Amino acid sequence: MQLALEGTCEPCPRGTYRAQGVQVSCQACPLGRITPKLGSVSIEECSLPVCPPGTYLNGTQNSCVACRKGTYQPEPQQTRCLSCPPEKSTKSTAATSASECFNPCEIRGPDMLCDRNARCLSIPETDKIKCECRPGYNGTGEVCSDVCTDFCDNEGVCVKDPQGQPSCRCIGSFTGKHCVEKSEFAYIAGGIAGAVIFIILIVLLVWMICVRSARKKEPKKILTAATDQNGSQVNFYYGAQTPYAESIAPSHHSTYAHYYDDEEDGWEMPNFYNETYMK
């Protein structure tokens, strides 16, 4: 107790003490210590630590404890911390203001807590967040990688289903989950195709040889001079009857048709011009 200005006695405030008959007025506790109640009468009662903002006094442990993430305390020497609004938390412990509360899933840029290919989940019970990689990605959530990275070999194309599960579209003769195995069917099919093409070429070659041989053996056709009803030869050039004498022994002035053989194709063609006459 101490004497107030009004002349009455009043208890010493917290953080001070006064031994009756020893101190004239209340004395402050040692630095960093405080009394648990008003009216302390000895220095031994300065048993509690002075807890600054961002901490609270744990009466059981008789010590200051920092406010955990998701809470804050702007006042000193308090016995509890204040909680952040729902779905918000603090970046670290010992927050001293409500302005330090934020939604960690809304952070963008280099300070993002989750990978850009992850979902950020807030856990109200623990005031913590959880990062989960999206479908089609693997990792811790803080770091996520595409499931198609190095999934297919031998130039196979990786595709994802709606659940994000990868699969390979192999090319050539490769098959299997990762396009590593070689397909025996491709070898068999290739061999069969090659054999069929070879047989076709042989058949065509034999057919061409046979056709050529048949054309050489075909007998030549012999064409005779055309005659009219009287037995006279017809002059193809003028359409008139050929004199009997010329039909027997044509002169070099004769213009009726002669015939010659085409050695190449075996057909005989009429020669409408007398070679001797042309000379």
Spatial CB neighbours of 90, under 8 Å, sequence gap ≥ 6: 69, 70, 71, 72, 84, 100, 101, 102
Higher pLDDT residue, 110 or 33?
A: 33
Higher pLDDT residue, 250 or 197?
A: 197
Least confident of 76-80, 147-151, 194-198, 241-245: 241-245
CA pair distance 260, 221, nearest whole angstrom: 11
Is residue 257's pLDDT more than 70? no
Q: Which of 40, 38, 67 is nearest to 52 (CA)?
A: 67
CA angle 207, 195, 198 (to 5 degrees): 30
Contact status, residue 54 vs residue 64, Cβ threshold 8 Å: no
Residue range 147-182 in CATH 2.10.25.10: yes
Confidence of residue 214 (pLDDT cuts 50, 70, 90): confident
Contact status, residue 120 vs residue 129, Cβ threshold 8 Å: yes
pLDDT tens-place string over residues 182-198 = 876 656 667 788 888 98
CA pair distance 249, 102, nearest whole angstrom: 128
CA 28 to the chain's CA centroid: 71
- For the entire predicted model, the pTM comes to 0.42
Instruction: Give the largest Cα separation in the chain, rounded.
Output: 185
Domain ranges of the chain: 1-50, 147-182, 184-218, 220-279
pLDDT the model gives residue 229: 56
Bridge partners (DSSP) listed for residue 144: 139
pLDDT tens-place string over residues 53-101 = 999 988 788 889 999 988 999 998 888 999 988 878 888 899 999 999 8
CA pair distance 190, 172, nearest whole angstrom: 12
